[in-house]
A and B are shown apart, each in its own frame.
Chain A
Amino acid sequence: MNIIIVGGGKEVHFLTKSFLSKGYRVTIINKDEEYCKKLARIHERANIVHGDGTKPYILEDSGAAYSQMVIALTSNDPDNLVICQVAEKMFKVIKTFAIVNDPRNIEIFKKLGVDTVISTANIISSLIEQKIAVDDITNLIPIEEGKVSIMEIEISKGYPVVGNILSDIAFPKEAVVGCIMRNGIAVIPRGNTEVKEEDKLIILSLPNVQSAVLRVIRGRTD
């Protein structure tokens, strides 16, 4: 597989190393000549192209027509959008990825046809917020940029749900207990499964009901 990465920074090094080790062919495009020389020294097996990756002829020189994937990692959102669109429309690249720096651009990028939009700021800030808000959540994984999330909640002594069966617990409709970890064993729960102390509930829910779910389980929100 041929992959083109446009941009710079730590992510580029990491992705390049990882792709090369999997046997993919990687081409990196960057505007800064000195940085390109550095990239060429570090990643001997990657092709490095010096130029503006939003220009069709630079993408052409980088072999966009023979690439299966283009990843836009620059710090400028409009540039990332144009890179993905030119790759897709002029060179028929199948998969295009863009990082957005302003999380409010996620929706815009999707509406304008970029396949996969990643907002690091969004993912990190939502993770941090959730972690700070509740220490009983031992793990939280946002899926599809946080449209839905999986959280893992440990049941402590004195929680109102202890001893209740799942069908009696008034969870919001937008949340479901997918699994219970009990003494290291995964239990797939049914309506008549009883919640016990030290259980870890693995809950799939929409972000807007997360705090309601916690309130039900813990009897408080703080």
Chain B
Amino acid sequence: MKKNNDEYIIIVGCGRLGSHLASLLSKTRRSVVVIDKEQHAFHRLSDDFSGFTIEADAIEIDTLLEAKINKADVLVATTNDDNTNIMVAQIAKTIYGVPKVVARLFEPSRKIVYEELDVETISPTVLSSIAFKNIIVGSEMED
């Protein structure tokens, strides 16, 4: 087993979520590479971010190879387009066998399809509604 700190993590999409996550992971000394189509997106990264950035379109296979996807332990897809996230996540999981793949999906209804493919999904809509509910009625246990 590898030690956790050696993990190599690719983050696709350097928006608010991607950049914040990249900065957090970089602080825990993980090796992080962030991919985004737009150069200016990398300004969102914090000053102490010590990973690499790649300015390119992640659905192009050459970009993922440049990011050494075949060596990645984790891939996180956080672009603002659900379908791009889904496609990148599947390429990582199915073609390159990346052990842990997580994708953000705004639209929760597609979730079932992707759980079947062993891609973990996180839906901000579902997460925030649960958080709101817990604030409003407390975290009562119910189905």
Which A residues fall within an 8 A CB radius of B?
A: 54-57, 76-79, 81-82, 85-86, 89-90, 102, 104-105, 108, 111-112
Contacts and interface: CB of A to CB of B under 8 A. Distances in A.
15 contacts: A56-B110, A57-B109, A76-B83, A78-B83, A78-B86, A81-B86, A82-B86, A102-B60, A105-B59, A108-B95, A111-B94, A112-B87, A112-B90, A112-B91, A112-B95
Interface in B56-83: 59-62, 81-83
A104 B64 CA distance: 13
Closest 4 A/B residue pairs (Cβ): A78-B83, A78-B87, A82-B83, A78-B84
Interface string B17-47: 0000000000000000000000000000000
A65 B27 CA distance: 48
B112 interface: yes
Contact of B61 (A54, A81, A108): A108
Secondary structure type dominating chain A contacts: helix
Contacts, number: 56
Contacts of A86: 110, 113
Contacts of A54: 82-83, 110
Contacts of B61: 104-105, 108
B87 A89 contact: no
Contacts of A89: 112-113, 116
Nearest to B61: A104
A89 B112 CA distance: 9
Nearest to B116: A89
B87 to A, nearest CB: 4
A90 B112 contact: yes
Q: Chain B interface: which size bin?
A: 20 to 34
B107 interface: yes
A129 to B, nearest CB: 21
Contacts of B110: 54-56, 82, 86
Nearest to A52: B107
A105 B57 CA distance: 13
Given A89-B113, A111-B95, A112-B90, A55 B107 contact: yes
Given A55-B109, A77-B87, A112-B87, 8 more contacts: A55-B110, A56-B113, A82-B82, A82-B87, A86-B110, A86-B113, A108-B87, A112-B90
Nearest to A102: B60
Nearest to A105: B59
A121 B95 CA distance: 24
B113 A108 contact: no
B83 A79 contact: yes
Nearest to A112: B90
A104 B95 contact: no
Given A104-B61, A105-B59, A56 B87 contact: no
Nearest to A80: B83
A48 B84 CA distance: 26
A205 to B, nearest CB: 27
A86 B107 CA distance: 13
Contacts of B112: 89-90
Interface string B102-135: 0000010110110010000000000000000000
B39 to A, nearest CB: 21
